[in-house]
Structure 1
Amino acid sequence: MSNLSNISSTLTLQGFDLPPESVIPALVLATMGYIIIIFCNLLLLITIILNKNLHEPMYLLLLNLPINDMLGSTALFPHLIKELLWDTRTIQFSTCVTQAFFIHVYATGAVFILTAMAYDRYVAICRPMRYNSIMNNSHLMKIISLVWLTNIIMIAVLFILLLRLPRCRSLLTHTYCDNPSLLQLVCVNTAVNNIYGLITVAVCQVITVGLILFTYLQILIACFKNKGSDSRNKAIQTCTTHLIVFIIFECLGLFTIISYRLTDTSPYLRKFISMVAMILPPTLNPIIYGLRTKEIRTKFLTLFKQRVKP
């Protein structure tokens, strides 16, 4: 009980254990990575907002992706840069919980948003005559509200269950704060937290992966039935690219979750994969879902020319 009452509010992160000569390159890469992610996602965000022709269900759903990516990156990078710049590995417990909360909101939100976008493409390609009646403004707002409210409530419950438990440790065996690493600071039974976490992950995976596989399978079937080779090839290329991005994100996220429960997993591998899961999707998403989309690319170039020319 004395250990529980005297535990410090300051936590220590294990960090990367970088040699001194690697700190400056790592700091430069982290800073440049954060700038690139924010710039590319802001570019996509502003392009969609400023062009009324892009105020369609597909692009309004896409609008949520850069918001979510910037949320996750801002939860991670500023503290990471501070750690490298000042050579400090300490973090306040309240700050750690806040960081972990938004990182989990980002990870879950990314999967939910991609699922909503897959549903929109399914209706557009497989039910084109009913697209406008199905994806009306009211239905669209319900989808967006469901994505964010479900995400926030689910993660909030996860951290309410965490905060009720007393801590007796202050060393986080990870490079940033998340729920599994915070649970390792607890010295009482965490069965309720583990069960809730596993159930939410399982339910989310079944629903999102199931919906995405179903929608893209239906899209591919519809594309092969379509006699127009140009539209078919475009749809197949789009679906394939989106599926690859989703599968990469899923594999990285699931490995991070499972690695906490496998004691023989290399901590360096877990750190590397978890960092890639936080950096790669926010970097690729503006390119895959933004610049590779002809309508957005055209509107961006038009907007750029209007701002550059006197």
Structure 2
Amino acid sequence: MENYTYNSFVLQLEGLKVAEDSIFLVFFLFLFSYIVFMIMNVGILVLIFIDRNLHQPMYLLFCNLTVSDIIGSSNILPRLLSDLLLPPSERLIGYYECVVQAFITQFFATTSHTMLIMMAFDRYVAISHPLHYSSIMTNKMIIKLTVSAWGVPFVLVGILLGLTIRLNRCRTLIRHPYCDNASLFKLSCESVLINNIYGLTFTVVLFIASIGSVVLTYTKITVVCLTSKNKSLNSKALKTCSTHLVVYLIMSLSGFTAVALHRFPQYSEYKKLSAILFVIVPGGLNPIIYGVQSKEIRNFFIKMFHFQNILPSCKSK
């Protein structure tokens, strides 16, 4: 029989169920992933900041996606790593801390979509209206896109968490490796119909908006490429669109898997793993995919490598 504790301000995280002889292996795998993740994402931010050639709308918008990835991973992984080294009974978290983590978690997941919508718009303008690109993608437009990409998720997620914190709680166990909205409202013994309706509507609208923008963007870009005999334009379109599409598909597949497994309690461990991979995989691959495909970033590394080769020869003279 389940024990009920009403409105407790101390919650327990179930976390990952890992065999004792595998705890340190799993810990170092996640730690290594987090370190590599941070080096790549912070490195991309630094490159874009210090190299004026990268002060272009595409890279400035990409910075927003990178910042979102850093916030999302730092919100979850350090806490997850510390909990791995604790027995399940000691994986405790304050209610308000849990609410903040849940807000940042949902905020990060939502901004990942809105950032890619803004980047899709940028690619459409660059390929479909190249002569008017500089007049459309002005600094003012970049600020508007950035504010929208952060502001809309902030309001929507604020309402989502507001509906959750209004509920009385009768349970204390978070059946997840970290706090998110679904895990929080499942602590309540009250009706969560409104939460489910808003949450489902929120998810459907977000996916329709992101998928719709990507489909519309690529349809128009495809039409431009088919009607244009400019091989250089077509090559540029193929490279930039394939990069954006790969990032979008990875993020969408990871997010959809995590959301879908929430509906199947019998796959709880798979749900936990997919929720963690949703944080690590897309954000870890974004710098690689954009970095490899970007001529400007590749050239920066080539220049740096060439400079390091010249420097020792100059010192020896």
Residue equivalent to 2:298: 297
Residue equivalent to 2:281: 280
Q: 2:179 & 2:305 partners in 1: Cα distance?
A: 39
CA RMSD after TM alignment: 2.1
Q: Are residue 77 (structure 1) and residue 100 (structure 2) matched?
A: no
Distance 1:301 1:85, change over 3 A: farther
The residue correspondences of 1:1-310 to structure 2 (distance < 5 A) are 5=6, 7-87=7-87, 88-263=90-265, 265-303=266-304, 309=311
Q: 2:50 & 2:153 partners in 1: Cα distance?
A: 28
Q: 1:37 & 1:77 partners in 2: Cα distance?
A: 11
One-letter amino acid of the counterpart of residue 263, structure 2: R
Shift of 1:192: 1.7
User: Which sits farther off after the overlay, 266-275 or 124-133?
Assistant: 266-275
Shift of 1:4: 5.7
Shift of 1:228: 3.3
One-letter amino acid of the counterpart of residue 268, structure 2: P
Unaligned runs of 5+ in 2: 313-317
Determine helix, strand or coil for the equivalent of 1:18. Answer: coil
User: Which sits farther off after the overlay, 241-250 or 106-115?
Assistant: 241-250
Determine helix, strand or coil for the equivalent of 1:266. Answer: helix
Which string of whole-angstrom CA distances, capped at 9 and with x for unpartnered residues, describes residues 129-177 of structure 1? 2111111111111111011011111111111111111111011111111
8 Å CA contact 2:15–2:84 kept in 1: the answer is: no
Determine helix, strand or coil for the equivalent of 2:176. Answer: coil
One-letter amino acid of the counterpart of residue 124, structure 2: Y
Shift of 1:271: 1.6
Shift of 1:220: 2.3
One-letter amino acid of the counterpart of residue 167, structure 2: L
Q: 1:103 & 1:292 partners in 2: Cα distance?
A: 29
Q: How many residues align?
A: 307
Determine helix, strand or coil for the equivalent of 1:250. Answer: helix
Which string of whole-angstrom CA distances, capped at 9 and with x for unpartnered residues, describes residues 87-125 of structure 1? 442222222211111111111111110111011000000
Q: 1:206 & 1:188 partners in 2: Cα distance?
A: 30
The percent identity for this pair of structures is: 36
Q: 1:258 & 1:23 partners in 2: Cα distance?
A: 27
Q: 1:159 & 1:304 partners in 2: Cα distance?
A: 48
8 Å CA contact 1:220–1:236 kept in 2: the answer is: no
8 Å CA contact 2:53–2:296 kept in 1: the answer is: no
Determine helix, strand or coil for the equivalent of 1:60. Answer: helix
Q: 2:219 & 2:296 partners in 1: Cα distance?
A: 25
Q: 2:141 & 2:246 partners in 1: Cα distance?
A: 28
8 Å CA contact 2:34–2:77 kept in 1: the answer is: yes
Determine helix, strand or coil for the equivalent of 2:85. Answer: helix
8 Å CA contact 2:17–2:269 kept in 1: the answer is: no
Determine helix, strand or coil for the equivalent of 2:11. Answer: strand
TM-score between both structures, scaled by the size of structure 2: 0.90
Determine helix, strand or coil for the equivalent of 1:277. Answer: helix
8 Å CA contact 1:4–1:166 kept in 2: the answer is: no
User: Which sits farther off after the overlay, 96-105 or 298-307?
Assistant: 298-307
Distance 1:38 1:307, change over 3 A: farther
Q: 2:306 & 2:107 partners in 1: Cα distance?
A: 36
Q: 2:182 & 2:229 partners in 1: Cα distance?
A: 50
Shift of 1:261: 2.9
Shift of 1:16: 1.7
Determine helix, strand or coil for the equivalent of 1:63. Answer: helix
Determine helix, strand or coil for the equivalent of 1:12. Answer: strand
User: Which sits farther off after the overlay, 279-288 or 226-235?
Assistant: 226-235
Shift of 1:53: 1.9
Where in structure 1 do 4 or more consecutive aligned residues deviate above 4 Å?
A: 2-5, 303-310
Q: 1:304 & 1:171 partners in 2: Cα distance?
A: 52
Q: 2:232 & 2:158 partners in 1: Cα distance?
A: 46
Shift of 1:305: 6.0
Unaligned runs of 5+ in 1: none
Distance 1:234 1:59, change over 3 A: same
One-letter amino acid of the counterpart of residue 102, structure 2: A
Q: 2:20 & 2:65 partners in 1: Cα distance?
A: 36
Q: 1:269 & 1:141 partners in 2: Cα distance?
A: 39
TM-score between both structures, scaled by the size of structure 1: 0.92
